[in-house]
A and B are shown apart, each in its own frame.
Chain A
Amino acid sequence: MKKTFATIMLLLAVASGLFAADKFYADDPLLKEPSPRDAAKVKNRKLNDYYDLLENSFQKRGERNEKGVMIRARDVNTLDEPMDGAWYTHRHYWHAMTDEQLQLGAGGQNPPSQEGQWTIVSAKSEGVTPGFVIVDAKNDKYYVKFDPMKYPELATGAEMISARLFHALGYHVPDYYLIHFTPQKLVLGKDVVFHDAEGRKRDMTQSDLDQLLAKVPRAGDGSYRAIVSLQIQGKPVGPYKYFGVRGDDPNDIVPHEHRRELRGLDIFAAWLQHNDSRSINSLDTLVQENGVTYVRHHLMDFGSTLGSLSTWAKTARYGGEYYLDFKPAPKQIFTLGLAVPYWAHAQYPGYPAIGGFEAATFRPDEWVPDYPNAAFQNRLPDDDFWAAKQVMAFTNQQIRAIVKVAQFSDPRAEQYMAETLIARRDKIGKAFLGKVLPLDLFAVENGQLTFHDLAREHGLDVKGELHITWASFDNKTSQSTPVPGAADFRVPATQGGEVSYLAAHLWRGDDTAKAITVYLRSTGGPTEVVGIDRTW
């Protein structure tokens, strides 16, 4: 009997050694998504604005992080980062962009041609501010939007600034330009289909055009200021949702509520007061690369960011409560309104170009978009940290440079906008960086483990010194064996075969809950950082 038992145990040991899943594969960490499968069969889908509001307000869609259930972001590599690809691209935080690059945004090299006229090929009259689609002399198509009559520079300024920031933060966004033109620059194309104020489709006339232009502010010299966006590359197939996956897209394998860049978008949206960060303001397009058609996911329409509501200035509620927020209602009802919500204390500067944007009452961890968002609600401290570190990467000078693209005519408005973004940035750093041990950008240089201590770099309170222990790490069994005597940042010598792993465990002061394990791999050549595990 004993012999039999021993045989079984031996077999088990051999089997587990032979067949256990490696923690790290040879191609880890994957910095870029593997080449996509062909997704040419993906169909266009529509999303109704009101349905989206009701569905997200009254139903708990997607798989949620709830009490006792913690689902960490699933689209990340072993360095805990999303990969470059259809959703996201590592930009400013990892490869510091110059002021000029930040100002250029997603393109910056292809404004509408000044040669010849711009031909209007379609238009909309719905809403208070009109919009056109124009084709320029290069035959490029642009979407044109204006400011509301009472708030010159508000919506166009907000969209210019936010599009630059979202691009630098890694998202796919349209290529926006600010333009100034006189009515003579526009010419009405043939058979332009137009939805008039009564919702009827008919051919657009010059009178319609004149009436649309009469609804937007005009400068003293008779020119109009507008923002144009170059048509997004690829065939539009509708917006993405913030939960679930697109059923017909083979590359869309991680439920959106578990995507790091969608969870982290909540923090960026809070920074930029992008309460309109909902599905309707996203767009998927079918693009072709290397002969393969795949779906690329974009953010768009930033006219309701910062202090702008596209057609009006934001009121204080935006960011403070959901549109259909029943939670605060009983308190408001039974206190007869004497319990004033924190956001109602906001004070705005009164500049038309700024609208309702401020930093004094901004509470990053309580900020909410217009209605519940499954990905935003699934945020975990590591998602918060991922986003906050990127927000904090913008220096004061860089923020000022980006604000310049709004071309505010009032220098006080420009200064206020920059200072408000800086103050909100700092609040985000304070609120979220410390939710985990804020060390990042690990590398091995000259035999030392190096990293950025973001808490110290950004002047946050830190308690205690950093501690480190080292262990050799078995990639097959995930077993760690302490390396005796190794307690500083020098990488200990490794023993083992051709490929060996070390694990460095770091924490600060007495707070051992917030810790990081950094995995190093040595393959005979230079030692590289191959993985990061954060706990909190």
Chain B
Amino acid sequence: MNIHGRPTGRYRNLALFVFLASLGVFVLLPRLCRGQESRTQEIEKQRDEKAAHPNSDAPGKVEKALIYLEDGNIMERLTAGFHGWNLRLGGLVQGSGFALGPEYRRNPEWLGGSNFLLGAQVSTKLYQKYYTGWKMPRLANDHVSFEFNGVHRNYSQIDYFGPGPRSSKDTRTDYRLEDTAVDAALGVKPVRHTQFGASAGYLWVNIGPGTSGKFPSADQVFSPVESPGIDRQTNFLRFGPYAQIDYLDNPDGPAGGGLYTFEYTWYRDQKLNLHDFQRMDAEIQQYFGFFNKTRVLALRAKATLTDAERGNVVPFYMQSILGGSEDLRGFLPFRFYDNNSLVLNAEYRWHVMSILDMALFADGGKVFSRRGELNFSHLQGDGGIGFRFNYQGRQFMRLDIAGSHEGFRFWLKFNDIFVRRPVGTASAQPIY
């Protein structure tokens, strides 16, 4: 280099050489090497390069695990069971805690298809339930149905706040409900959507001290005068007719149609001759779906009226009960007990995304001692918002947040708010 920074002759030649060499390496060589004269050659060269470096498309660990589940039909086995045996989660009364237990199911095709069920469940609060059922829903070419149900329940800490609509939240107590029931129902379906029937059964009841430990036992707080039957329980023969009209568009997640149920049940005291009474249950569910059922107005009205024979009373454990995740959501479970009850629910539900619907809801209801008080005055009210989680169009979980003058309640439930009960005497009791 000279003092002006210009290359001298020798260095100039060197620079030229370096430049040309670079040109050769970076510009011309690749083109020479490519040496393609056709599009076909260009494509074939890319294929050659790929063939020289094959990759395996082996799935990763997560996908491998999922493929294993799929190939082994593991999910089907878990949901459908093994040789009829299955694990049942949940399904006990509210407040029971997490429950699970074995269940045996068989669905033989004979007699038009029937379902046999046998199971046992225990919860974290040591609630127990043992049950069996045999249903033949499609006899006589789907015009006749017959079912038998047997259940033994031992619920160790059912809440009780005392009788009547004015019971105080602060007088919370609990009791043990232990009962055994066997019932059979025969139904006739003369026309589509409609069934009439009659059912009969026997119910053994025992009430004992509650075990929560956090609250006093009901028998220590309430007298037999306030809460008939708290000291001595009886057995019942029960029987009565029922009628149901069901034109819901989708029983698993109705967005249109209606379900109207009427039941009348005679309860006959078999031991004490103190508790003969009649019970009438009427329920209307109506669904109005709009915008392709992405918005649904769901309404329910439900009334239970009882009428004791002269000189008899309805025992407290057979009275109507309101409060909790299935009727008055702004109140504690089993908050109100009395001879009669009325509950009204309205929900506006809307689609948020395929796995989530939301709902705004309002509940109103009351318990009352005399049937003459069946009206809309003095209703306990609450309101709230709900999140409904769906899988393949079926709701599998709901989170309801409700508020009332007694505070806020959060409900994480795996059932529909308007729980569909079987008709007949098997379900014609307050705690089903």
Contacts and interface: CB of A to CB of B under 8 A. Distances in A.
B5 to A, nearest CB: 14
Nearest to A346: B292
A344 B55 contact: no
A30 B39 contact: yes
Interface stretch (B44-52, B127-135, B154-162): B44-52
Contact of A15 (B28, B40, B59, B295): B28
Contacts of B39: 25, 27-28, 30, 77-78
Contact of A19 (B32, B55, B356): B32
Interface in A191-209: 195, 197-200, 207
A12 interface: yes
A216 to B, nearest CB: 15
Interface string A14-56: 0100011100011110100110110001010111111100000
B295 A340 contact: yes
Grouping DSSP codes into helix (H, G, I), strand (E, B) and loop, the A interface class, with mixed when no group exceeds half, is loop
Interface string B32-65: 1010111110111011101100111111001100
A322 B355 CA distance: 11
A253 B42 contact: no
A51 B23 contact: no
Given A34-B40, A48-B70, A246-B57, A251 B47 contact: yes
Interface stretch (A133-141, A181-189, A263-271, A323-331): A323-331
Contacts of B83: 198
21 contacts: A8-B16, A12-B23, A25-B36, A25-B38, A30-B39, A34-B44, A36-B47, A37-B51, A48-B63, A195-B73, A199-B72, A247-B57, A250-B50, A251-B50, A253-B43, A316-B294, A321-B354, A332-B352, A333-B358, A337-B348, A340-B294
B376 interface: no
A329 B40 contact: no
Contacts of B16: 4, 8
A252 interface: yes
Contacts of A344: 291-292, 294-295, 351
Given A248-B57, A252-B50, A329 B356 contact: yes
A441 interface: no
Interface string B290-310: 011111000000000000000
Contact of A248 (B12, B32, B54, B71): B54
B242 interface: no
B81 interface: yes
Given A46-B67, A317-B294, A26 B38 contact: yes
B353 A321 contact: yes
Interface string B67-94: 1001111111100111110000000000
Given A51-B62, A340-B291, A198 B77 contact: yes
B47 A45 contact: no
Closest 10 CB pairs of A and B: A337-B350, A247-B55, A199-B76, A199-B73, A250-B51, A316-B292, A198-B80, A48-B66, A344-B291, A19-B31
Interface string A434-452: 0000000000000000000
B54 A247 contact: yes
B30 to A, nearest CB: 9
B19 interface: yes
B50 A336 contact: no
A332 B292 contact: no
A341 B294 contact: yes
Given A48-B70, A200-B82, 5 more contacts: A37-B47, A251-B50, A322-B354, A333-B352, A344-B291
Contacts of A252: 50
B203 to A, nearest CB: 35
Interface string B339-350: 000000000101
Interface residues of A, number: 68
Interface string A215-255: 00000000000000000000000000000011111111100
A250 B55 CA distance: 10
Nearest to A38: B51
Interface in A303-327: 315-317, 321-326
Contacts of A25: 36-39, 42
B109 interface: yes
A126 B71 CA distance: 13
A45 B67 CA distance: 11
B25 interface: no
A200 B77 contact: yes
Contacts of A48: 59, 63, 66-67, 70
Contacts of A110: none
Contacts of A322: 354
A2 B38 CA distance: 40
A252 B54 CA distance: 11
Contacts of B57: 43, 45, 246-248
Contacts of A67: none
By CB atoms of chain B within 10 A, which of A199, A200, A321, A336 has the most? A199
A344 B352 CA distance: 12
Given A15-B27, A19-B32, A50-B66, A30 B40 contact: yes
Nearest to A247: B55
B281 to A, nearest CB: 31
B294 A325 contact: no
A26 B19 CA distance: 34
Given A15-B28, A25-B38, A197 B66 contact: no
A69 interface: no
Given A48-B63, A317-B354, A253 B56 contact: no
Contact of A345 (B23, B291, B350, B393): B291
A340 B39 CA distance: 52
B272 interface: no
Contacts of A251: 47, 50
A336 B352 CA distance: 9
B80 A332 contact: no
B360 interface: yes
Given A198-B76, A247-B57, A321-B353, A27 B40 contact: yes
A1 interface: yes
Contacts of A37: 44, 47-48, 51
B20 A11 contact: yes
Given A12-B23, A34-B43, A77-B39, A324 B63 contact: no
A26 to B, nearest CB: 6
A211 interface: yes
Contacts of A21: 31, 34
Contacts of B54: 41, 247-248, 250
A119 to B, nearest CB: 24
A48 B62 CA distance: 10
Nearest to A46: B67
Nearest to A327: B353
Given A8-B16, A19-B32, A30-B39, A198 B291 contact: no
A37 B40 CA distance: 12
A296 to B, nearest CB: 16
Contact of B351 (A15, A211, A332): A332
Nearest to A41: B54
A25 B37 CA distance: 7
A229 to B, nearest CB: 22
Interface in B98-149: 109
A197 B76 CA distance: 8
A22 B352 CA distance: 55
A336 B349 CA distance: 9
Nearest to A37: B47
Nearest to B355: A324
Contacts of B66: 48, 50-51
A99 to B, nearest CB: 35
A198 B81 contact: yes
